[in-house]
Amino acid sequence: MTQLTESKRRPDTGALPWQLLDAIADIAQAPLMRIAESLRTALAPFIKSSALVIFTEDCTGRPQKKAGEESIVSRVSIPELDRVRAAIPGGDPWRAKAVIAGKEREVLALGYAPSNALLVLTDPGEGQSEDAERVLSYLWRLTAARIQEKVSDAPPSYLLESRAASAERIRVTAELVDQHSTTLETVLAALRSNSMDDHAARTAVTDMTVKALISLRTLNDRTSDLVEEPVSTAFERLREDLRPLMHFSNIDIQFIEPPANGRALPGEVAHAARAVVRGLVLAIAEQPDVHRVRAQWDCDGENLLINVRDDGRGELSPEAPNIERLRQRVQAVNGRMSLDVMQGWGADISVVLPLDPPSAPAGDVAAWGLAARELEVLQLLAAGQRNRAIAAELNVSENTVKFHIRNLFRKLDVRSRTEAIALAHSAGLR
């Protein structure tokens, strides 16, 4: 009798084992730009929703991954997601009403403690069973961990694209802040004028305008926080990343901390720095007779300076695949890495990561006369994206992407994607 009651309470998962396994495989293989869509598809048999939004600070260039109704995914904002994340009491699914995309909606939300990521489902409907929520929690943990993994092992093209997106978002936000701050400050000056009669109205409007000004500046600070990380915070996260290795090996890792007041690190630099040091320490740990590793960060105002040194036999090979992969990771953020191996005395690795992106491409790009959307398409082409991926990234149809590519061919005077990509690379677009 108990088994019958339990089976009635559960969703019809018995008929969906292969469908669920296929969905899990799709999440595990999905590129970052499609991972929200994959998760929403996997959840569809268990929990319906009008939209699915992932908010993760690991992806500093594009912290939102979205799928579902265009009216929601095109308008949801970071402050709205921040408020939902602050309201979640713990790791269990949280159901409540919240403002998403400018409108109060029923939401189902989950956090992910290791990366502080957030999942929000809008209009999830009523009556989900415990099993459905278990599936939701499992698939969300899988997705969040996959995002962390993808960002840590991101190819150079993704890092360059993400860094460019971060810089562009800061620029646009700064412009909006300047524009609206000036407007609001002018309104405040007028409302505070002694020549106005209605004192009560002036007081009320002044209060509302001050709050709007504070909110706008808070949004600017929040956006900056997403794409920059204090150097001391980034280094502490490195220490936490390496703590398991310290527990389960005989290697003593010594940390030489950077100056606490050092310049904040761009998000991609912080991610790259931690990944490179982790990779170097793991490569060093594979050598025999290594007892001590020293990891040091410093900052000269323009670069993050990393030094990793060990006391092994000096058998670390500069040509090893894992070292070459780390070298490519460094080059992806315009940095450089040198490795000095001393037989019998260990290895000394130095890495320099610039804190500012490389200068803008030469004037060739401006001379092409590309519209903003055409330039976006060209940048994604240069990063190796196909039409479908570009369409998903820009939230447009594949036909629209083809239309922009035809215009690109005409303006660039090329006849193929290969020629367009080569020309973009020659102008510094990656």
How far is CA 158 from each of CA 150, 250, 383, 430, rounded to the nearest angstrom?
10, 36, 7, 9
Kindly give, in sequence order, each residue whose CB lies less than 8 Å from that of residue 394, ignoring residues fewer than 6 positions away: 373, 376, 377, 380, 401
Q: Which alpha helices (H) appear in 228-258, and where do they start and end?
A: 231-247
> What's the CA gap between 207 and 189, in Å, rounded?
13
User: Residue 316: which of 293, 276, 294, 348 has the closest Cα?
Assistant: 348
User: Residue 384: which of 162, 166, 161 has the closest Cα?
Assistant: 161
> What's the CA gap between 134 and 204, in Å, rounded?
48
Q: What is the pLDDT of residue 106?
A: 93
- DSSP letter for each residue of 34-67: GHHHHHHHHHTTT---SEEEEE-TT-SS--EEEE
Q: What is the pLDDT of residue 9?
A: 37
User: Residue 335: which of 363, 314, 316, 354 has the closest Cα?
Assistant: 354
User: Residue 163: which of 59, 252, 20 has the closest Cα?
Assistant: 59
3-state SS class at 103: strand
Burial 68-103 (b: 16+ CB within 10 A, else e): beeebbeebebebbeebeeebeeeebbeeebebbee
Q: What is the dihedral of CA 165, 171, 175, 178, to 10 degrees?
A: 130
Q: What is the pLDDT of residue 6?
A: 36
Which helix (H) or strand (E) covers residue 388, if one does?
A: helix 387-394
DSSP bridge partners of 265: 229
> What's the CA gap between 280 and 286, in Å, rounded?
10
3-state SS class at 421: helix
User: Residue 283: which of 147, 342, 275 has the closest Cα?
Assistant: 275
How far is CA 76 from each of CA 46, 171, 269, 342, rounded to the nearest angstrom?
24, 20, 27, 55
Q: Which alpha helices (H) appear in 286-363, and where do they start and end?
A: 321-332
Residue 30, number of CB atoms within 10 A of its CB: 21
Q: Is 119 left (phi over 0), alpha (psi -120 to 50) or beta?
A: beta
Kindly give, in sequence order, each residue whose CB lies less than 8 Å from that of residue 43, ignoring residues fewer than 6 positions away: 49, 52, 121, 135, 136, 139
Q: What is the pLDDT of residue 302?
A: 86
Strands 252-256 and 292-299: parallel
pTM here is: 0.49
- The token pair at 370 is 């590309």
Per-residue model confidence as pLDDT tens for the chain (430 residues): 333 333 333 444 444 567 778 878 888 888 777 888 999 988 988 888 999 999 987 766 667 888 899 889 888 888 888 889 888 876 678 889 999 988 899 999 999 888 888 999 999 877 667 788 888 888 999 998 888 877 766 555 555 556 655 665 565 566 566 666 666 666 666 666 666 566 766 776 776 676 666 666 565 555 555 567 788 888 988 888 887 766 667 788 999 989 887 788 887 788 888 889 988 988 888 888 888 999 999 988 889 999 999 998 888 888 888 888 888 878 877 788 999 888 888 899 999 998 876 654 445 566 788 887 888 888 888 877 888 888 888 888 888 898 889 888 888 878 778 778 878 877 767 5
> What's the CA gap between 352 and 343, in Å, rounded?
24
Residue 289, number of CB atoms within 10 A of its CB: 10
87 close to 94: Cβ distance less than 8 angstroms: yes
